Amino acid sequence: MKLGTTFIADTFAEAFRMRWSRLVVTAHDEHWRDAAAAEATGYGSSIISCDSEAGIERRLTAAETPDGRPGASLLFFGFSADALGRALSNRTGQCLMTCATTAVYDGLPAAETRAPLGKHLRYFGDGFQKSKVIDGRRFWRVPVMDGEFLVADDVGIEKGIAGGNIILEASTLDTALAAARRAIDALADRAGVITPFPGGVVRSGSKVGSRYAALRASTNEAFCPTLRSRVTTELHPGANVAYEIVINGVDEASVAAAMALAMRAAVGDGVVAIAAGNYGGELGKFHFRLREVLA
C-alpha cells in the first residue's frame, strides 16, 4: 500500500494499557504558562526510566480555563494509579508550585479514581495554608512569595493507552526531519493525545530487553541504518534515516486517529516508508495496524 509516494508497511504498532491524568495549569500570561508546562512535562519521555510519560495536550485560551487566565492541559501516563499519583504530586510540587503565578486544576473531575494533589502539597504552607470549597470542589491556597499557589485537592485518573507509534523512514536526514516536523505539527493541540519525546520525536527507538542483564530496553537495531549489514534489518531499502513518533492517548480511537493524521502529514517525496514498532504482538494489548487506521 502506498500513501502518495510513501510505502505503508503491512505492520502494526503495539501499545499498552496505562493510567493517565490531566492537569490544567494556568498562569498570569503565556510566558509563565509555557514555562510551567515545559518544566512539568520535562524528563517525561519514557516510563522505562521516567516516573511518568508526559506532554502538553494543548494550549488553552483564557476562555477555556477555570480562572480565565491562559492555560495548558498536560497529560501524564503511568503504570499504576499510585505511581502516577506520586509522579503528579512530585511534578506539581517541584515544577508548578515553584513557577511564578501558576494555579493547577483537575482536568478529569468526573473520574472515579482519585489521586491526592493539593491534599499533600498543602503541607508546604506550614500551617498557613487555607482550603476553599467552590462548586463542590476543594482547593488549597498555599502562601508563596508572589501571593498564593492555588491547587486542586485531588485529581482524576483514567485508563488510557501508551505506545501507539509510527516509524518514518527517509532517504536523507533533512527529509526525515521535515517529515517528522510535519507529523508533530499536525498533532499539536490535538485533544486526547501527546507525543512525549523531545519535539515529539524519538531517534533511539527501543526493543524490550538487552544482552546486558541490567537493562530493560536497548536500541532497536532493526531500524538502525548503521547496522544494516550486521543485523536483520527492517528498514526500507531506500531509507537511510528513521524516526519514531510515539503517541499516548486517552483511548484507542484517539491514538488511531492521531496515527493516521501523523502519517498523512508525514508522507512525501523522500519519505520512502512508514512502519511501526511492535514486539511480535505478545506484550501489548492494543495493536494498531497502519493500513487499517488509514482506511
Partner 1 sequence: MSAHSLRWRGKPPPGRIDASALRPDLLAGLDEAAISRLPIPCGSSRVEIGDLFVVRRTPAAHGPQLRIDGCERYVDLARGMERGRLSVDGPCGDRVGRDLRGGEITVDGNAGHLAGASMSGGLLYVGGSAGDWLGGPAPGDTRGLRGGEIIVEGSCGERAGLAQRRGLIAVCGSAGRGAGHHLRAGTIVVLGGDLEAPGVGMRRGTIIATSAATRAAPPATFGEDGPIRPVFLRLLWRRLRELGGVVDDALDDAEFLAFSGDRTTGGRGEVLYRSR
Chain residues in the site for partner 1 (CB under 8 A): 26, 66-69, 103, 130, 132-135, 139, 141, 147-148, 150
Minimum Å distance from CB 106 to partner 1?
12
Given the complex with partner 1, which of 93 and 205 has the nearer CB atom?
93
Q: Rounded to an integer, what is the distance from CA 279 to the centroid of its chain?
A: 20
Minimum Å distance from CB 76 to partner 1?
22
- Give the Cα separation of 107 and 110 in Å (integer): 9
Given the complex with partner 1, which of 150 and 183 has the nearer CB atom?
150
Given the complex with partner 1, which of 138 and 291 has the nearer CB atom?
138
- Give the Cα separation of 226 and 231 in Å (integer): 10
What's the burial of 63, exposed, middle or buried (CB within 10 Å: 0-12/13-18/19+)?
exposed
DSSP character at residue 124:
G
Question: From the CB of residue 62, how many other CB atoms can be counted at a distance below 10 Å?
Answer: 13
Minimum Å distance from CB 196 to partner 1?
28
Given the complex with partner 1, which of 152 and 184 has the nearer CB atom?
152
Minimum Å distance from CB 36 to partner 1?
13
Of 16, 15, 19, 6, nearest to 289 (Cα)? 15
